[in-house]
Amino acid sequence: MSHTAYVVFTVFSQMAVGALIAMVIADFLAKGKEDAKFFETGAWVCVPVAVIGLIAMLSHEARPIQAMMTMNANLATSWLSRESLALTVFVVLAVIYTVLWLFEPEYGSLKGIPVIPKIAKFFMPLRKVVGILGAVMGFAYLGIGAKAYMMPTMPSWNLDTTPLFFLVTTLLVGVTAVAAVLSAKYMLKKETVERFANFLWATWGIALVMVIVLLFTLFANISALQQVGVTEATTLAQAGTLENMLHGDYTALFYARVVIGVILTLVCLTALVLPLKKKDISKASALTLAVFLCALIGELLGRAVFFGANVSLGEVMPYVLSTI
């Protein structure tokens, strides 16, 4: 069974949350119209990335339209329904926040479109508020989404490391995605924006913390899978998952994730310090792009292992029953 749709959906929807958080940071860092005009380009990231995730989510449905209509039908009992509702609310807030950036009457990329900039002008004082609400809902979506995957029938997902993996994707890939877009803009136009250096420092700090969290989570995950489960079947499922990760079909992807997503990302982050200290924004921008690419590839590989290496209780129950 292909897990591509699940990989793309989870990585890109979580990246969208991180991208919105990055723009909220930029919103508070901007001290004037020139700063805001430069940062505005980063607002193009969140919604398109979220749309990619939504398309991936619906791509594995036989009847995607019907699936969309029934996703929120079982909120009282289904974590999947709650996840879809939380994501829907987040996307709505993200769209509003993005509109308030792109249609800003003075520096928005789409300010030339009739009517909308005039309407957006009245709501401009609320932009930061909408961004904060979107970030809060984004974190709520992460928690609810993690809970939706933490099912007793999937022992390797039903661990405390699952929400940590999702958090790392959100802040490591999402924040660096916006930083990479802004870095590319700087490298093309060489615009001098004082606050951009501050934004890159913030990105560096968040990324460094998330890589450290990722390293801890990987060790914690391996340790948890080695533990005795609540039942014999749980123990066998965890052991099977660990076997697939470290000595099976997903071993190459697991170690590629460690090399690219952890080691190379750390190397790039270490190299980024010097140009940032010297205020060499051109080199810092190039290294920020490298950080993002390593982080994105690493998280895609990691999520492929997360879904692909998993052994469910259903796969081990025949063996357990045969020993009774």
* Tens digits of residue pLDDT in 221-231: 999 999 998 88
In the predicted model, what is the mean pLDDT of residues 180-207?
91
Phi, psi of 250 (to 5 degrees): -110, 10
CA 288 to CA 168: how far, in whole Å?
17
Q: How many CB atoms sit inside 10 A of residue 41's CB?
A: 19
- Contacting residues for 295 by C-beta, under 8 A, at least 6 apart: 172, 173, 176, 207, 261, 265
Residue 64 has pLDDT above 90, yes or no: no
> Is 166 contained in some domain?
no
Residue 99 has pLDDT above 50, yes or no: yes
> Is 262 contained in some domain?
yes
Lowest mean pLDDT among 30-44, 104-118, 150-164, 189-203: 189-203
Query: Does residue 125 share a domain with residue 262?
Result: no
> Is 161 contained in some domain?
no
Query: Does residue 265 share a domain with residue 128?
Result: no
Chosen domain end from 91, 117, 149: 149
CA 261 to CA 266: how far, in whole Å?
8
Nearest CA-CA partner of 224 in 142, 140, 139, 165: 165
Query: Does residue 105 share a domain with residue 21?
Result: yes
Query: Does residue 298 share a domain with residue 210?
Result: yes
CA 247 to CA 178: how far, in whole Å?
36
CA 38 to CA 185: how far, in whole Å?
8
Query: Does residue 321 share a domain with residue 206?
Result: yes
Contact 200, 50 (CB under 8 A): no
Contact 232, 320 (CB under 8 A): yes
Tell me the three-class secondary structure of 47-73, residue by residue.
HHHHHHHHHHHHHCCCCHHHHHHHCCC
How many domains is the chain partitioned into structurally? 2
Query: Does residue 2 share a domain with residue 143?
Result: yes
> Is 157 contained in some domain?
no
Residue 73 has pLDDT above 90, yes or no: no
Query: Does residue 115 share a domain with residue 200?
Result: no
> Is 103 contained in some domain?
yes
Residue 1 confidence class, pLDDT cut points 50, 70, 90: very low
> Is 167 contained in some domain?
no
Residue 323 confidence class, pLDDT cut points 50, 70, 90: low
Query: Does residue 199 share a domain with residue 117?
Result: no
Query: Does residue 201 share a domain with residue 134?
Result: no
Contact 214, 168 (CB under 8 A): yes
Residue-level pLDDT at 324 = 56
Query: Does residue 323 share a domain with residue 271?
Result: yes
CA 242 to CA 211: how far, in whole Å?
22
Domain that holds residue 288: 189-324
Structure tokens that stand for 187 in this block: 């490298």
Structure confidence by residue, pLDDT tens digits, 119-176: 999 999 999 999 999 999 999 999 999 999 999 999 999 999 999 999 999 999 999 9
Chosen domain end from 90, 121, 149: 149
In the predicted model, what is the mean pLDDT of residues 244-252?
96
Contact 50, 209 (CB under 8 A): no
Nearest CA-CA partner of 163 in 241, 85, 71, 171: 171
Q: DSSP string covering 191-225, please?
A: ---HHHHHHHHHHHHHHHHHHHHHHHHHHHHHHHH
> Is 204 contained in some domain?
yes
Residue 63 has pLDDT above 60, yes or no: no
Chosen domain end from 149, 180, 214: 149
User: What global pTM score does this model have?
Assistant: 0.93
- CB hemisphere CA count around 169 (13 angstroms): 33
Residue 79 has pLDDT above 90, yes or no: no
Structure confidence by residue, pLDDT tens digits, 268-296: 999 999 999 999 999 999 999 999 999 99
> Is 276 contained in some domain?
yes
Residue 107 has pLDDT above 50, yes or no: yes
Query: Does residue 128 share a domain with residue 35?
Result: yes
Structure tokens that stand for 248 in this block: 């099976």
Query: Does residue 223 share a domain with residue 131?
Result: no
Helix (H) / strand (E) element for 161: namely helix 161-168
